[in-house]
Amino acid sequence: VQLQASGGGLVQAGGSLRLSCTDSGRTFGTNALGWFRQAPGKERQFVAGISWSGGSTLYADSVKGRYTISRDNAKKTVYLQMNSLKPEDTAVYYCAADSGGLDYIKAPDYWGQGTQVTVSS
């Protein structure tokens, strides 16, 4: 598993961004995938997760209704669509993968590098 995240940037409050994370490994289609974020001075926190098939998803309460996680197994890519962004969403966002399934995504086996998301007020 080799995860590469992209799509971060600077956006005004209320705006949208879509993050992407591509896996260059060979087991993409069998792994649950997730997104985490870490704000300055804070611990890394779970944001969203998706099962290997895409049929099940999981969200942190703070992003429910605003963020959508999806995946395209043919492209070996997981996405995080972020709408109605708030300044408190500012963080480095990381993608992650776990071979054990969605139930284990909050403690993933694999991490990608982060991408910075900054939301200005």
Q: List the beta strands (DSSP E) in the chain.
A: 3-6, 9-12, 17-23, 32-38, 45-50, 57-59, 67-72, 77-82, 91-98, 110-120
In 10 A of CB 22, how many CB atoms? Answer: 18
Distance CA 43, CA 120 (A): 21
Structure confidence at residue 96 as a pLDDT band (50, 70, 90): very high
Mean of the pLDDT values across residues 104-120?
95
CA dihedral for 10, 97, 21, 82, sign (positive or negative): negative
Question: Nearest CA to 38 among 109, 113, 110?
Answer: 113
% of the chain beyond a pLDDT of 70: 98
Residues 29-84 pLDDT 10s = 789 999 999 999 999 999 999 999 999 999 999 999 999 999 999 999 999 999 99
Cβ 110 vs Cβ 98: under 8 Å: yes
In the predicted model, is pLDDT for residue 27 greater than 90? no
Structure confidence at residue 115 as a pLDDT band (50, 70, 90): very high
In 10 A of CB 20, how many CB atoms? Answer: 17
In the predicted model, is pLDDT for residue 26 greater than 80? no
